[in-house]
A and B are shown apart, each in its own frame.
Chain A
């Protein structure tokens, strides 16, 4: 009795290990491809160089430069709690901090309501600089129109973008994080 169950579990384990070894590289590859395509989309440019990933204060940070290695800006993965779970946004900034584009990497927002965030904010935040406007929903006195009937998702989304800007892109005294690296790579040119 015990032997039978043990044999079944062993066989199952072996099968799982085999399938995992076959699919794991493919799964990694798809993840990397998705990220690369996402970065191109949010930077609004095809011909770019993406620097090695850096983990800064819990954000994934990618310094972006164009084909001739002059810095274009940065792509940042930022996360905030949305209405239905974590809302993971990839957002692209130029060197001044103006938003070039964004895409939702992961979300569990309500279909038909909060899930509209993937298109809704395209014409509302692109071209804006979170440091130069009031980057909250209009209900809270800000400059951005929230998704109809999805204020919580909208707030979370804007907060995620603003957080990334404040932490990594905004010019600071003493130049930290992203700005330092951009300044450094600018000097090298």
Chain B
């Protein structure tokens, strides 16, 4: 197995946001700024890597019939651990993302990768898949957040480029999320159509 290919597969060919269109709830909900999008992406990536690893390790021990419940227990526990760690050691991230962290449990990317990749591949490849998909998700959310933040408030990562009063507030709000996501999907698929 070519690990580089697994990595790139997650970022480009099966980019969870732009190609698979999975996990739209956190995508639309948390990307009101570039930093929020990136934090959410990284949090999801952390869960994805560990869940892929664990599920790949226990895949032969778990009978087929209780596969999904077992995976969900693993994923939910990981997310809860992550939430407690963030609350305890990164209170600033907790302030902006606290509401969305528990939603990682129901992010279909994580269960999707557990089912379609980790349950069929060895632990090392599964970790690489977690990194790849996680990076794809993080990059997508950061782009989405950056565009929305720039158009909405005239800043990127909190660095003001032009005065806030020229910003179109709509882009920070829900309708802007849908619009920007739509256009980014167009751009992404145009660029990587033949990749």
A23 and B87 form a contact (CB under 8 A): yes
Residues of A within 8 A of B91 (CB): 30, 34
* Minimal Cβ-Cβ distance residue in B for A30: B91
Closest approach, in angstroms, between the C-beta of B176 and any C-beta of chain A? 10
Select one of B63, B77, B84 contacting A27, CB under 8 A.
B84
Residues of B within 8 A of A22 (CB): 88
A112 and B84 form a contact (CB under 8 A): no
Interface residues of B in 85-122 (CB under 8 A from A): 85, 87-89, 91, 99
- Whether, in the assembled complex, B10 has its beta carbon less than 8 Å from a beta carbon of chain A, the answer is no
Q: Provide the bound-state CA to CA distance between A113 and B173, in Å.
A: 10
Tally of A-B Cβ pairs under 8 angstroms: 61
How many chain B residues touch A (Cβ–Cβ < 8 Å)?
A: 28
- Whether, in the assembled complex, B39 has its beta carbon less than 8 Å from a beta carbon of chain A, the answer is no
Q: Provide the bound-state CA to CA distance between A110 and B171, in Å.
A: 12
Please encode chain A, from 1 to 37, with 1 for each CB lying within 8 Å of some chain B CB and 0 for all others.
1101100110010011001101110110010001000
Q: A5-B66, A30-B91 are in contact. Are A12 and B77 (CB under 8 A)?
A: yes
- Whether, in the assembled complex, A141 has its beta carbon less than 8 Å from a beta carbon of chain B, the answer is no
A15 and B77 form a contact (CB under 8 A): yes
Select one of A4, A12, A16, A30 contacting B61, CB under 8 A.
A4
18 extra interface residue pairs, beta carbon distance < 8 Å, beyond A23-B84, A23-B88: A1-B66, A4-B70, A5-B69, A5-B70, A8-B58, A8-B74, A9-B73, A19-B81, A19-B85, A20-B84, A23-B89, A24-B84, A30-B88, A34-B91, A111-B173, A112-B153, A112-B172, A112-B173
Instruction: Give chain A's interface residues, CB within 8 Å of chain B.
Output: 1-2, 4-5, 8-9, 12, 15-16, 19-20, 22-24, 26-27, 30, 34, 108, 110-113
